[in-house]
Amino acid sequence: MIPEEIQTLIEDATFDYTMGDHDTALAKLYRATTAAPAAFEAWHALAEINFSLRRFDAALVAANQAHALRADDLFINTTLSRIWMEKGDKATAEKYGAQAKILSWKDQLKNPGAKPGDL
């Protein structure tokens, strides 16, 4: 699949999820990650949807894949923090939460006029 097809699949999966069709959303994201294992956005979406469905082990697998691709992403570090908190590992959750905070500060230094929600 070409990158545009992967992006469309991610967007379709996100729409399916918001419409309540969780199984179809997950199937599309698994297709995307199989076809493009380096697709950070697909892994992150898979982590978020599994987290939302309280499938924390599956969310952790997907989040770790995304983190391996882009460890300096504020949002994947936040996702990992949330997952570990739900799994009951406060120390690991705090580690990823601290990393997210550092990344947020770095972004603020690069973009001093931006508001926190503008990321």
**Interval 89-103: pLDDT, tens:** 999 999 999 999 999
**Residue 108: what pLDDT?**
80
**DSSP state, 20?**
T
How many degrees, rounded to 5, is the angle at CA 98 between CA 82 and CA 96?
A: 40
**Residue 23: what pLDDT?**
97
Dist. CA 50–CA 98, nearest whole Å: 23
Contacts of 4 (CB under 8 A, 6+ apart): none
CA distances from 42 to 10, 11, 28, 34, 104 (A): 6, 9, 9, 10, 22
Segment 56-81 mean pLDDT: 97
Task: Specify the higher pLDDT residue, 119 or 73.
Answer: 73
Domains of the chain: 3-114 (1.25.40.10)
Q: Are 77 and 67 in contact (CB under 8 A)?
A: yes
